[in-house]
C-alpha cells in the first residue's frame, strides 16, 4: 500500500460517524440494499444494521466496493435491533406516513440517530413503527406516496450530513484507532487480510506511512516475507 493510498484511507476514516446509522428491515432486493450502503459510505456512516428473515449479500456492482468500508450488523428480530440501537442512546426514526409524522428535515440529526427503512412494498412492520421514537415523511407533491427505498435513504442521509457538517461533526475522528487500523489493513492489504483470516492471525499495526509493523514471528506465522508482502501490496493497489 502506497503512503498516498494510506493517507486517503485515513482521511476517510477520520470522518466516519459512529452515532449515525441506518437499519434496514426486510429490505430484500439486493440492488436496493447495496445502493443504500453506497450512500451510507458517501455520508460517512460506519455501520449499518439489518433485520432479515433470510441472509442477503450486498450486490457488489451497485455497492461499488462500499461494502468493504461499511460494517454490517444483522439482527434476527426487530426487537433485537431496536434494543441495540436504543441501548446506544440513539433516537430511532422510521419513514412512515402517519398523523404524527414530521418532515424529515425538521429532525435534529446532530443527535445520535438511527433511521429505519422498511420492506420495499409494505414498509416498516407494525412492531418497528411502535418501537420507533418518531415517524418521518418526505413531502410528496405527485400522485405516488412513496419513493424507492434507496432514494428515500439518500435524501434523509444527506440532510443528516448537511446538519452534521454545519455542526463540525466531520472535523474530528470518532472511530477508535484500533478500528481505523483494522479497516486500513483489510482494504490496504486485501490479500494479507484474507491470509490472516484463513490462518487466524491477528492484524499487525501500521506505521504512519501505512507500512506493516511486525516482528519475525508474525511473518513466520504468515509464511511470507516482507518483500513478498510488498509485491502483493503493489498488485492490490
106-143 pLDDT, tens digit per residue, is 999 999 999 999 887 777 889 999 999 999 999 988 86
Q: Quote the pTM value.
A: 0.83
Other beta carbons less than 10 A from residue 225's beta carbon: 11
Cα–Cα distance, 45 to 42 (Å, whole number): 8
Cα–Cα distance, 109 to 51 (Å, whole number): 23
Q: Is 147 annotated as a binding residue?
A: yes
Residue ending a domain, choose from 166, 193, 218: 166
Three-class SS of residue 204?
coil
Asked, for residue 9, whether it belongs to a domain, the answer is no
Asked, for residue 80, whether it belongs to a domain, the answer is yes
When mean pLDDT is compared across 42-46, 91-95, 217-221, the lowest value belongs to: 217-221
Within this chain, do residues 151 and 208 fall inside the same structural domain, yes or no? no
Which domain, by its residues, includes 27? 17-166
Could you tell me the CA-to-CA distances from 86 to 89, 90, 109, 207 in Å, in that order?
5, 5, 15, 36
β-strand pairing of 91-95 with 102-103: unpaired
Q: Is 157 annotated as a binding residue?
A: no
DSSP codes joined into one string, 55-70: -----HHHHTTGGGTS
Q: Is 95 annotated as a binding residue?
A: yes
Within this chain, do residues 27 and 86 fall inside the same structural domain, yes or no? yes
* Cβ proximity of 212 and 206 under 8 Å: yes
* Cβ proximity of 189 and 205 under 8 Å: no
DSSP codes joined into one string, 125-179: -HHHHHH-SEEEE----SS-----HHHHHHHHHHHHHHHHHHTTTTSS--S-HHH
When mean pLDDT is compared across 48-57, 96-105, 135-144, 180-189, the lowest value belongs to: 48-57
Amino acid at each position: 500500500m502506497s503512503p498516498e493510498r494510506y493517507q486517503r484511507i485515513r482521511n476517510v476514516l477520520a470522518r466516519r460517524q459512529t452515532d449515525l446509522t441506518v437499519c434496514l428491515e426486510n429490505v430484500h432486493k439486493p440492488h436496493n440494499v447495496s445502493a443504500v450502503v453506497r450512500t451510507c459510505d458517501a455520508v460517512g456512516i460506519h455501520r449499518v444494521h439489518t433485520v432479515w428473515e433470510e441472509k442477503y449479500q450486498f450486490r457488489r456492482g451497485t455497492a461499488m466496493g462500499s461494502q468493504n468500508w461499511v460494517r454490517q450488523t444483522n439482527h434476527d428480530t426487530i426487537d433485537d435491533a431496536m434494543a441495540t440501537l436504543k441501548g446506544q442512546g440513539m433516537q430511532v426514526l422510521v419513514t412512515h406516513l402517519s398523523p404524527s409524522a414530521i418532515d424529515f428535515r425538521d429532525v435534529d440529526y446532530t443527535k445520535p440517530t438511527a433511521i429505519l427503512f422498511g420492506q420495499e412494498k409494505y414498509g416498516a412492520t407494525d412492531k418497528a413503527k411502535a418501537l420507533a421514537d418518531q415517524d418521518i415523511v418526505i413531502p410528496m407533491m405527485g400522485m405516488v406516496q412513496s419513493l424507492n427505498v434507496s432514494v428515500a435513504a439518500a435524501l434523509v442521509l444527506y440532510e443528516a450530513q448537511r446538519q452534521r457538517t454545519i455542526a463540525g461533526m466531520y472535523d474530528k475522528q470518532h472511530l477508535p484507532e484500533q478500528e481505523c487500523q483494522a479497516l486500513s489493513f483489510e482494504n490496504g492489504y486485501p490479500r494479507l487480510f484474507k491470509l490472516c483470516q484463513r490462518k487466524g492471525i491477528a492484524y499487525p499495526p501500521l506505521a504512519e506511512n501505512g507500512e506493516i509493523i511486525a516482528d519475525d514471528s508474525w511473518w513466520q506465522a504468515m509464511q511470507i516475507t516482507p518483500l513478498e508482502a510488498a509485491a502483493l501490496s503493489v498488485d492490490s493497489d
